[in-house]
Homo-oligomer: A and B are copies of this chain.
Amino acid sequence: MRMSKGVEWALHTLLNLHIAGGGPVGNGQLAEAHGLPSAYLNKQLQQLVRAGLLTSTPGVRGGFQLAKAIEQITLLDVVEAIEGDVRLFQCTEIRCCGRIGEIAPAPTEPCPVKVAMVRAEDAWRQALAAQTLADVQAELERRPEVTDAVRASIT
């Protein structure tokens, strides 16, 4: 149970796109900025395009650029764009199978085990939705040499 590393790549790349400015940046530049395999990063960025976080422009001067301001992009948006449906615990209703399922009547209420697990997951999702990329960016700007390095290696 671990998150795809594409989430980490997407988060850093989105921030880099904001730091670099508004113009479109090619996939190769974004990959080399962090030493990532460009073809696989491209695959992740396409999912961000489908999710509406990025826009892509083909052609020789094309590339990816942010579709929204980073203030409007939450961590949950990025995680869901990469991971798809983020349901950690998937209830298979085993309470209705086997001998217990044969004896007990069909339940009408939701499974208490599921309810408890979903409750915890909602806390996680809310914590993700409460943080935007702008919040992370604010932390990054406390070290200007890092943002300068981003601009130098991308622009």
Cβ A88 vs Cβ B11 within 8 A: no
Cβ B1 vs Cβ A94 within 8 A: no
Please give 17 more A-B residue pairs, beta carbons under 8 A apart, in addition to A75-B117, A105-B145. A1-B1, A1-B3, A1-B4, A1-B83, A8-B89, A8-B94, A32-B98, A34-B98, A34-B101, A75-B116, A99-B153, A100-B146, A112-B136, A113-B136, A120-B127, A123-B124, A124-B124
Q: 8 closest pairs, A vs B, by CB?
A: A35-B98, A124-B124, A104-B149, A99-B153, A112-B139, A120-B127, A35-B97, A103-B149
A127 contact from B104, B123, B135, B150, Cβ within 8 A: B123
In the complex, how many residues of chain A place their beta carbon closer than 8 angstroms to a beta carbon of chain B? 66
Instruction: Contacts A1-B88, A3-B1, A33-B98 given; indicate if A103 touches B153 (C-beta within 8 A).
Output: yes
Cβ A94 vs Cβ B34 within 8 A: yes
Interface hits, A70-125 → B, CB 8 Å: 75, 83, 86-92, 94-95, 97-101, 103-105, 107, 109, 112-113, 115-117, 119-124
A34 contact from B100, B119, B152, Cβ within 8 A: B100
